[in-house]
Structure formats: C-alpha cells, structure tokens
Amino acid sequence: QALLQESGPGLVKPSETLSLTCSVSGVSFGTQIRAWVRQPPGQGLEWIGYIYSSGSTSYNPSLRSRVSMSMDPTKNQFSLKLTSVTSADTAVYFCARLNSNHVDFWGQGTLVTVSS
Amino acid sequence: SYVVTQPPSVSVAPGQTATISCGGYNIGHIGVHWYQKKSGQAPVLVVHDNTDRPSGIPDRISGSSSEDTATLTIRGVEAGDEADYYCQVWDTSDDQPVFGGGTTLSVL
C-alpha cells in the first residue's frame, strides 16, 4: 500500500522559512515526479511545484522566487522549503506523486500555520 | 497561462445524476483529470485522461469531454458523494498543472 507522509513544524513565524519533508513507502517513484500542492483554508487546491527524478524542478510562477525542492532517493524522501512566509502561506500542504500529468498518490496533508 | 473554470456549487437529490463541468479553451483536446476532495482528507483521483477510472472507483462516476468543456458525471448520487471536485489539466505553455477552482457537490 502506497504511503506518503508529510512532516514538519505546524507553526512557522512570519518571514521565516517553512520546511516540510515527505517520506514515501510502499510505492516506487521510478521516473514519476514528486510534487507539492497546498490548500489554504476555505480555498481551492494550488500547485506549488514538482521535482523530477533527475533533480530538476519546476515551480509555480507565483511562488518561484521563494520555493525550493529537493529529494533524497536513498531515504525515500523529498522536501519543500518556502522562504519569507506570510499568513497567506497558511495552508494544508500535500506531497504527491505525479504520474504522467496527474496525481495518483497523495499524502494525507499537514496543516502549516504562519503566525507569530 | 491556461485557465479552467468550474461552477462553485452543484446540488442534487439522492439517487439523481450530478454533472460538474470544467471549461477551458479546446479542453476537449487535452487530458482532463478529476479529483474528489472531502473535508479533512487528501484528494482522491476519480477520473484521469478524460474518461479513465482508477481501480476502486465505481462505474457510476464517469468523465467525458467536448470542444471547450469537460464533464464529470455521477449517477445515483449518494450522501457519501458530498465533496469538492476539482478538474486539472496540464498547461504546456508553463509546463505546469492547473487546477480548476473546485465545485462543491451537495446532496439534498
């Protein structure tokens, strides 16, 4: 059974850096793509970006200046960093596997609140 | 960048058929994927590539598309179908996925 599990602080102060890790078990990523998606409270789903198995990345243009993604295949983990956060970054963050051009596996999501 | 448009809400009585639309320029010529999102849960892929259902998704859920509209159809709607439904396409110009704004399905 595929399992993607997000982990990281649930509370981040404004202007600081949000860091999350996704741990993967039960599914191989192979050449599939690792992705991050978020959902602010009361709003819809928003792509953050994705990272290929080669390590190259593609980010949502609206977040590009603040986002970075990395991965450690030896640990079956990949990570998200979002710098200079504000309250607008408060959201449930999901890690996911992109299969071709759609998501076939999702993490359960983790709520990150930006507040002092 | 590519824009997809969904109605904010759809309401149907139990046992009836719900149709949720996803509009976009020439959307019938690109792959459309649909996710069901219940409150507090991760999204679930219910249709991919316009019409294909992942294993475990009942056949009363189906997808179709025409020139500028893709449609998710749920026949015999049940209370458990209450959720937000999102369509998603791939914007080749930005090389990024794009979500619709989501449609809340209410079962009366």
CB contact under 8 A, A44 and B99: yes
Lowest mean pLDDT among A8-12, A30-34, B30-34: A30-34
Query: Which of the two residues, A2 and B57, has the higher pLDDT score?
Result: B57
Residue B107 has pLDDT above 90, yes or no: yes
pLDDT for the residue A6: 97
pLDDT for the residue B31: 92
Residue B1: which pLDDT band, with cuts at 50, 70 and 90?
A: confident
Is B57 part of the contact surface with chain A (CB cutoff 8 Å)?
A: no
Is A44 part of the contact surface with chain B (CB cutoff 8 Å)?
A: yes
CB contact under 8 A, A104 and B54: yes
Is A60 part of the contact surface with chain B (CB cutoff 8 Å)?
A: yes
Average pLDDT score over residue span A54-72: 94
Backbone torsion region of residue B105, taken as left when φ is above 0, otherwise alpha when ψ lies between -120 and 50, otherwise beta: beta
Lowest mean pLDDT among A8-17, A21-30, A47-56, B29-38: A21-30
pLDDT for the residue B37: 97
Residue B13: which pLDDT band, with cuts at 50, 70 and 90?
A: very high
Is A45 part of the contact surface with chain B (CB cutoff 8 Å)?
A: yes
CB contact under 8 A, A106 and B42: yes
Residue A59 in contact with residue A46, Cβ under 8 Å? Answer: no
Average pLDDT score over residue span B23-37: 94
Residue A30 has pLDDT above 90, yes or no: no
Q: Which of A45, A98, A108 sits opposite B86 (nearest CB)?
A: A45
pLDDT for the residue B70: 97
Nearest-CA distance A14 → chain B (Å): 25
pLDDT for the residue B11: 97
CB pairs under 8 A between A and B: 54
Q: How far apart are CA A6 and CA A24, in angstroms?
A: 9
Question: Could you give the count of Cα atoms lying within 13 Å of A113 in the half-sphere of its Cβ?
Answer: 4
Residue B27 has pLDDT above 80, yes or no: yes
From the list A56, A9, A54, the residue with the least C-alpha distance to A31 is A54
Structure tokens at A26: 């039960």
Residues of B in contact with A98 (CB under 8 A): 97
For chain B, the average pLDDT equals: 96
pLDDT for the residue A95: 97
Residue B94 has pLDDT above 90, yes or no: no
Lowest mean pLDDT among A27-36, A85-94, B80-89, B96-105: A27-36
Average pLDDT score over residue span B84-99: 94
Structure tokens at B100: 């619709």
